[in-house]
Amino acid sequence: MHDRYSRQILFSGIGAEGQQKLDNKHALIIGAGALGTGSAEILARAGVGELTIVDRDYVEWSNLQRQQLYTEADAEERMPKVIAAKKRLEEINSGITIHAHIIDVTPVELEQLIRGVDLILDATDNFDIRMIINDISQKHSIPWIYGSCVGSYGISYTILPGVSPCLHCLMENIPIGGMTCDTLGVISPVVQLVIAHQTAEALKILTENTDRLRQELISFDLWNNQQSTIQVRSLKQQQCKSCGDHANYPFLDYENTTKAEILCGRETVQIRPNSRETKDLETLAVKLAKLGKVKQNPYLLQFTIGDDRLVLFRDGRVLVHGTNDAARARSLYHRYLG
């Protein structure tokens, strides 16, 4: 196995000692879309000993333009992203451990997922989840790396609890509106550049070279040939509710999490029930087959009636496709599932 990582070991910043540290580390990747798949592949190839990948969604045709672990067969079968990613990553590196979870991330799930984790990578598509990650990071003193991209614009920022200003310091409040991939789209090269920044920082943290970490927030626009860095140290706030002297981690309160959420670029609304329960998809399939068309795999059930399509996961979440109207999505949810 020494030959496998020989070029990485030759790099003075890592060496044999750093490679051993990578083998003993555990990274949690939240999201298995464009950023998540690219980061997972790099860390798997680098020999990070344990990877946990979490995502709530399945592979669709529009993902293939930029989400590098997936194939046309995955899209055809509507395979859950983490299942397809785990399969491919195990083919890439059979010597590491990969955990895959088909779940929607809430504070409850994150409290369980972060056990034994050395680093959290943000590969999500909304600030609701990012602020939860931020609070979990501060509460348990786990470094995390923020990343985002839309259009040709990308951004990355590394957060060390107790050292860096946290995301709440920078944002103060969750942004409402603004640029999304729904309105601007996204090109693959900007995805790859954000991945490069995130994973470079990840390797520094996992090999315990924190003195080499970038101290600034970096942003760039590849199409317009622009790049900038922002010095953020002065933005750390003593009164911050997430990382300040009297932090109470407000985004870990379940009541502050979104119950109905419009998914970026999908014309889809996710409905998350108030109570957590495991759904009997087999029994539900029999019931719904009397009303419309049902397709099922071991992980999810798809129900189509007229122009409406609902996809139900075992954890009770439902994706209502074909609408950005949360009220209409809730109506369809209750009509057929509630």
Q: Which residues are catalytic?
A: 181
Q: For residue 240, with 0-12 CB atoms within 10 Å meaning exposed, 13-18 middle and 19 or more buried, which class applies?
A: buried
Gap between the Cα atoms of 338 and 246, Å rounded: 41
Strands 260-263 and 300-305: unpaired
DSSP secondary structure code for residue 78 in this structure:
T
Strands 216-221 and 226-231: antiparallel
Q: Which residues contact 205 (CB under 8 A, 6 or more apart)?
A: 118, 119, 143, 145, 158, 213
Question: Hey, is 31 helix, strand or coil?
Answer: coil
Nearest CA among 111, 92, 98 for reference residue 32: 98
Q: What is the edge-to-edge ordering of all strands in the sheet holding 119-122?
A: 97-102, 50-55, 26-30, 119-122, 144-150, 153-159, 216-221, 226-231
H/E run at residue 32: none
DSSP secondary structure code for residue 62 in this structure:
G
